[in-house]
Chains A and B, each alone.
Chain A
Amino acid sequence: VQPGTKTILICEDDENLRLLIRAVVGPGYHLVEAEAGDEAVALAHEHHPDLIILDLMLPRMSGLDVLSSLREEAPPGNAHILVMSAWPNSEEPSRNAGADSFLPKPFDPDDLTELITSVLGAPKT
């Protein structure tokens, strides 16, 4: 990983959606992927990501639990956390649990790109 490259942690249990998010984010970022909630917390501690894209329905540990766990500690806790969920009415509980932004599924790839750029700046090319 080149110095200065921003790290994005993708927590999503649906393989196809992981692939989509990877494709939308594109090159220029350091990507870390988790399939389950506990895995997401462990990777956050390990990689100190700048942005965490978090699904709510995750195996073993729910997205909301991941949120409150991450918000308790400083180094991973200052990452920008984007919650993406297909559950209706889930924006408010997500923001209450500490999410910085929210995108409902299905999502427009351009919206995600725009959000990532505004949070992390343009990717390193």
Chain B
Amino acid sequence: VKSLSLSGRMIVASLVLAVLVAGVFVVLIRAVSAVDDARLREAHSKDVEAATVGVEKLVIDLETGLRGLVISGNPRFLEPWAQARKELPDQLNQLDQLVKGTPEQELRARQLRRAINSYINDYSFNLINIRRQNPAAAASQDSTEEGTRLTNSIRGRFDELLTAENSRAAASAAAANTQSDRALVLGISALIACALLIISFGLYLARSTAEPIRGVATAASSVAAGDLSVRLPEQGPGEIGELTVAFNRMAAELERNQLELQAQNEQLRDSERRKSELVRIVSHELRTPLASILGLTSLLLTREIPAEDRTRYLEIISSEGRRLSSLLSDFLDVERLEDGHLPLDRELIDMGRIVAEQVRLFEGQSESHKLEMNVARSPLPVHGDPNRLAQVVSNLLSNAIKYSPEGGTVEVVAERDDGHVKVSVRDEGLGIADELHDRVFAKFFRGDAPESGIPGSGLGLTIARSVVEAHGGSMNFESGKGQGSVFWMELPVAAAGQ
């Protein structure tokens, strides 16, 4: 699952913060408007109260006027009553207007109006008429009690209306208080939540970005210091994760390149070692025949030498000269092998004849070795370079003799074998230990030869096998330490008519 990218997370966190802050504002605005509403409702209640008190005053005027008339009998006392009666409708309308929208208060205002109307119309006019006809009856206890009862009832309605209005005002004030308290608590907790959110997001950023980035920086320093094996845990949100993955890829690539370079370096060093070993071998191999040539020449030039010795010296000089020449050819051949172009002639030749010639050349070179040759009677036709193939046979023969210092039989077989011409040379010499087998054809490899004092450049078999392979053939051997060796080469038989 691909985790949300770091920028995505930052945007989400900012949105959450914005929503939280907006929520806090909404709550606060609603609280403020509720408090405002409560204040308005309170003011309204005050207005209702004032209007009620105004009506109440007029009702008192009505009562006072009536009572004055009844007690004094003077119609002038009725003036407040008349005045109040004139003002009442306006005042009551004002009250109706103020309580409009609150059904129970509307009902109370209506009942109040009815009670006042009833007081004026049913009681007051009645009493005024009675007073006009019978002043005593008007002042009777009954009629006074009736007035008191009616005004009490009206007063009761006033109380009811005021009480209801007061309790409504109180209730809305309490509700506003509660709401503002709640808004305060909500606002403060939301602000604390915002602060906590900001702090935790900061901590999260520090932990999830600063720390991994510091890790990358440390790892980069290690890489710069040469430690390319350093790797980061591939984790972290979005871009950080990508950064660690990319860093690891970079480090792995650098390490791979470094290893490759080291390997190449090692190869170069190896080839350098081989080159300097070659120089050592070349100089030693060239100096030994040179020592004979220069020493004998010097003797011939400066000292009196008997005639038969002189001939012997010249023969040695000549053969050592040839030895030098053949060594130089080997070095040049190896040089060409390395460049990949060893020039070869292509002729139809008889391997049997080449083997026989080489065996003849080696015969008599060593008294302690016996050469046994077994060459097929029929020709062994091969397409190839006669000189190079003769060189290969010569190399195998010379090795067989060199590596059997105690002497012995060297057996040479040349035969046809399953579409191939096979030439093998077997000796009874030192043999080759198993652990050295895979290096036998390697350049300059001479096995135990240097310690055994066996001369050579370690190039003969390298050249021989390359020559055979250049002819489409193969060369191999079997050997064991102290058990002698058999080396053979197989060349494709030349097809008739070729």
A binds B: yes
A interface residues, Cβ below 8 angstroms from B: 13-14, 16-17, 19-20, 23-24, 36-37, 57-60, 62, 86-88, 104-110
| CA of A23 to CA of B316, assembled, Å | 13
Check if B336 is an interface residue, CB within 8 A of chain A: no
Q: In B298-331, which residues have CB < 8 Å from any A CB?
A: 298-299, 302-303, 305, 309, 312-313, 316, 319-320
CB distance B453 to A106 under 8 Å? no
CB distance A24 to B295 under 8 Å? yes
Which residues of chain A are near B256, meaning CB under 8 Å?
Answer: none
* With known contacts A19-B316, A24-B295, A87-B280, A59–B290 Cβ distance under 8 A: no
CB distance B454 to A59 under 8 Å? yes
CB distance B453 to A107 under 8 Å? no
Which residues of chain B are near A107, meaning CB under 8 Å?
Answer: 291, 295
* With known contacts A105-B288, A106-B295, A88–B283 Cβ distance under 8 A: yes
8 Å CB contact of A14 from B280, B288, B302, B313: B288
CB distance from A70 to the nearest CB of B (A): 18
| CA of A17 to CA of B313, assembled, Å | 11
In the complex, which residue of chain B has the Cβ closest to the Cβ of A108?
B298
Check if B18 is an interface residue, CB within 8 A of chain A: no
In the complex, which residue of chain B has the Cβ closest to the Cβ of A87?
B284
CB distance A20 to B299 under 8 Å? yes
CB distance from B405 to the nearest CB of A (A): 6
Chain A interface mostly helix, strand, loop or mixed?
Answer: loop
Instruction: Count residues on chain B whose CB falls below 8 Å from chain A CBs.
Output: 32
Which residues of chain A are near B320, meaning CB under 8 Å?
Answer: 16
Query: What are 15 A-B contacts with C-beta separation under 8 Å?
Result: A14-B455, A16-B292, A16-B296, A16-B319, A24-B295, A57-B455, A60-B453, A62-B453, A86-B283, A87-B284, A105-B288, A106-B293, A106-B295, A108-B294, A109-B298
8 Å CB contact of A58 from B287, B319, B453: B453
Instruction: List the 8 shortest-distance A-B pairs measured between CB atoms, nearest first.
Output: A59-B453, A86-B287, A106-B291, A105-B291, A16-B292, A20-B295, A106-B294, A86-B284
Check if B450 is an interface residue, CB within 8 A of chain A: yes
CB distance A36 to B295 under 8 Å? no
Check if B434 is an interface residue, CB within 8 A of chain A: no
Check if B338 is an interface residue, CB within 8 A of chain A: no
Which residues of chain A are near B405, meaning CB under 8 Å?
Answer: 59
| CA of A59 to CA of B303, assembled, Å | 32
| CA of A13 to CA of B284, assembled, Å | 14
8 Å CB contact of A59 from B298, B299, B452: B452
CB distance from A56 to the nearest CB of B (A): 10
Check if B145 is an interface residue, CB within 8 A of chain A: no
| CA of A1 to CA of B221, assembled, Å | 82
CB distance from A23 to the nearest CB of B (A): 6
| CA of A101 to CA of B450, assembled, Å | 23
Q: In B308-365, which residues have CB < 8 Å from any A CB?
A: 309, 312-313, 316, 319-320
Which residues of chain A are near B319, meaning CB under 8 Å?
Answer: 16
CB distance A24 to B287 under 8 Å? no
Which residues of chain A are near B293, meaning CB under 8 Å?
Answer: 106
Which residues of chain A are near B292, meaning CB under 8 Å?
Answer: 14, 16-17, 20
10 additional contacts (CB under 8 A) given A16-B320, A105-B291 = A17-B291, A19-B316, A23-B305, A58-B453, A87-B284, A105-B287, A106-B287, A107-B291, A109-B295, A109-B298
CB distance from B446 to the nearest CB of A (A): 11
CB distance B291 to A88 under 8 Å? no
Which residues of chain B are near A24, meaning CB under 8 Å?
Answer: 295, 299
